Amino acid sequence: MEQVSPTRMNLLLKRRQIKIAQQGAALLKNKRDALLNEFMGLIKPLLEDRRKLDQRLRHALVFLARTMGVDGPETLESVALASPPAPPLKVQEKRVWGVKLLDIDAPEMVRSPLQRGYAPVSVSARVDMTAEAFEEVIDLIIQAAPKEIRLKRLGEEIKKTTRRLNALEQKRIPELKAQVAFIRQVLEDREREDKFRMKKLKAKGGENHGA
């Protein structure tokens, strides 16, 4: 325990520090509870996103294998080279209880054959179906990515907030209370000693007066 001078001023100071520490602990509890609510609210939607993504990816891979087997990899490479790049994503940052979170604003990734840069009559329906299947996968990834990032950052902040809260509740506040108890005990002992000395002085003064 930190050494502290047992004075009335320090007693008042330590009591004030306890009050501030308790207020800080209350704020951290509120923050942790809010973050936990946000965290728990993300789990179910994210699991659903992952289920859909896994399902669509398996579906897309089946199309890819079939198209490569029938149309050949050269056809797919040619179509891929003809396709223009997708429009850029707009990423915005926001803060929740001081935590940086991301929002992604993205256009629809599923495009028509003409938007993919080739004439519909120049390729088979299999190529179109494969392209569309993977575009749907990209859409799902873009939807899930901000939730994944948010869940990770919220989890990290919950751990950090919990550590700070535990440091206050399990260490700092008990130390301050122990210091207050120590100062009070010393001050009370001094007060009793002073009273005892005063009684002795009065008794001695009475004896001298009688003599």
Per-residue pLDDT of the chain (211 residues; tens, 9 = 90+): 567 788 899 999 999 999 999 999 999 999 999 999 989 999 999 999 999 999 999 999 999 999 999 989 888 888 888 788 877 778 888 887 778 887 887 778 888 877 887 777 778 889 889 989 999 999 999 888 888 988 999 999 999 999 999 999 999 999 999 999 999 999 888 888 878 777 777 766 665 555 5
* Tokens at 185, concatenated: 């005990």
How much is the pLDDT for 96?
Answer: 77
> Quick one: CA torsion of 111, 115, 117, 123, rounded to 10 degrees?
50
Query: Where are the chain's structural domains?
Result: 8-189
Please give, one letter per residue, the 3-state secondary structure of the chain: CCCCCCCHHHHHHHHHHHHHHHHHHHHHHHHHHHHHHHHHHHHHHHHHHHHHHHHHHHHHHHHHHHHHHHHCHHHHHHHHHHCCCCCCCEEEEEEECCEEEEEEECCCCCCCCCCCCCCHHHCCHHHHHHHHHHHHHHHHHHHHHHHHHHHHHHHHHHHHHHHHHHHHHHHHHHHHHHHHHHHHHHHHHHHHHHHHHHHHHHHHHHHHHHC
Task: Return d(Cα 14, Cα 19) in angstroms, integer.
Answer: 9
Which residue's structure tokens are 């993919």?
116
How much is the pLDDT for 113?
Answer: 77
- Of the candidates 145, 136, 142, 144, the one whose C-alpha atom is nearest the C-alpha of residue 61 is 136
- Of the candidates 203, 184, 188, 205, the one whose C-alpha atom is nearest the C-alpha of residue 15 is 184
Task: Return d(Cα 211, Cα 208) in angstroms, integer.
Answer: 5
With b for 16 or more beta-carbon neighbours within 10 A and e for fewer, the 158-190 pattern comes to beebeebbeebeeebbebbeebbebbeeeeeee
CATH topology for 8-189?
Helix Hairpins (1.10.287)
Task: Return d(Cα 25, Cα 29) in angstroms, integer.
Answer: 6
How much is the pLDDT for 192?
Answer: 86
